[in-house]
Structure 1
Amino acid sequence: MQLTWISKPFAALTLTELYDALQLRMEVFVVEQNCPFQDIDGLDAAAVHLLGYTAEGKLAAGARLFDAGQCYAQVSIGRVVVSPALRRFGLGQELMRQAIAHCAQLFGPQPIKIGAQQYLERFYQGFGFGQIGDMYLEDGIPHIYMLRP
């Protein structure tokens, strides 16, 4: 499945793009994962938002990209999300390839840190991330910090 990828700082997002991103994050992180938490965390304004749209104009995947010092000391990727209806097409793989490439393009080649749900450790290892530190609970879900040198 081919997606059209856009990356924009928060202030450049259209209302529709912002709504699409928040709606998809709510669908997955709050409803699907049955985890009531504060998704709108004050960090969206500091992020570059990477959004992948289908030819029909439906948001299929997204992530937030942060320069070093905005979220962690390192460049970081967060709120990595793929539409449940479109998961069988390998969009998670494409999203991570795009996110890593956009980070390098935006912020230069440097380490990338993520806070990953622990069950996705092998997925992120496939992109060169390795666990750093111990497991921690975030909103009741086991997470680990991972770093891609």
Structure 2
Amino acid sequence: MLQITIKTFDELSKQELYDLLQLRAEVFVVEQECAYQDVDGKDKKAWHILGYKDTKLIAYTRVFKPGDYFKEASIGRVVVIQNERQHKYGYDIMEASIVAIKNNFNEKTIKISAQCYLKDFYNNLGFIETGEEYLEDNIPHMAMVKN
């Protein structure tokens, strides 16, 4: 079971910020071999959903209120460290993110930009594809919405 912590950017400690940036770089830049600008200026507007196993950050998302990323509330930078994915922590961190949006922003509609190979994972969480596939950072993505 993950221990979930939810913080605004200003509430993050230096260590928490370092850990989440390290996790994102480990998965998105190194594992997925995608050179892109991860530090995109949007972290300051986001709420950060941190998933710990013992004291190690192993799962993470960032969530946005409507208008801060998309017109709708949104979830992004969904990540679970590779050696912990078999435990289904992706579902735990996403469910915590959905609840955080509902509780903090009073929103039910959530939009994501999902990597296409994860379509079934997001379908299982109630997200439905909207529109055509597109490339984001040279990786096939699709817009998905949960109502």
Matched, 1:29 2:31: no
CA distance in 2 between counterparts of 1:76 and 1:143 reads 15
Contact 2:73 2:107 in 1 (8 A): no
Counterpart of 2:66 in structure 1 is: 68
Between the aligned residues of both structures, percent identity stands at 46
TM-score where L is the length of structure 2: 0.98
Within a 5 Å distance, the mapping from 1:1-149 to structure 2 comes to 2-55=1-54, 57-149=55-147
Give runs of ≥4 in structure 1 deviating > 6 Å: none
CA distance in 2 between counterparts of 1:109 and 1:72 reads 13
CA distance in 2 between counterparts of 1:122 and 1:88 reads 16
Q: Specify every segment of 5 or more residues in structure 2 that has no aligned partner in the other structure, as ranges.
A: none
Contact 2:50 2:61 in 1 (8 A): yes
CA distance in 2 between counterparts of 1:8 and 1:139 reads 27
Contact 2:72 2:110 in 1 (8 A): yes
Q: What do you get for the CA RMSD once the two structures are aligned?
A: 0.7
Relative to structure 2, which stretch is displaced further, 93-102 or 69-78?
A: 93-102
CA shift at 1:109, angstroms? 3.2
Give the length in aligned residue pairs: 147
CA shift at 1:98, angstroms? 0.9
Q: Specify every segment of 5 or more residues in structure 1 that has no aligned partner in the other structure, as ranges.
A: none
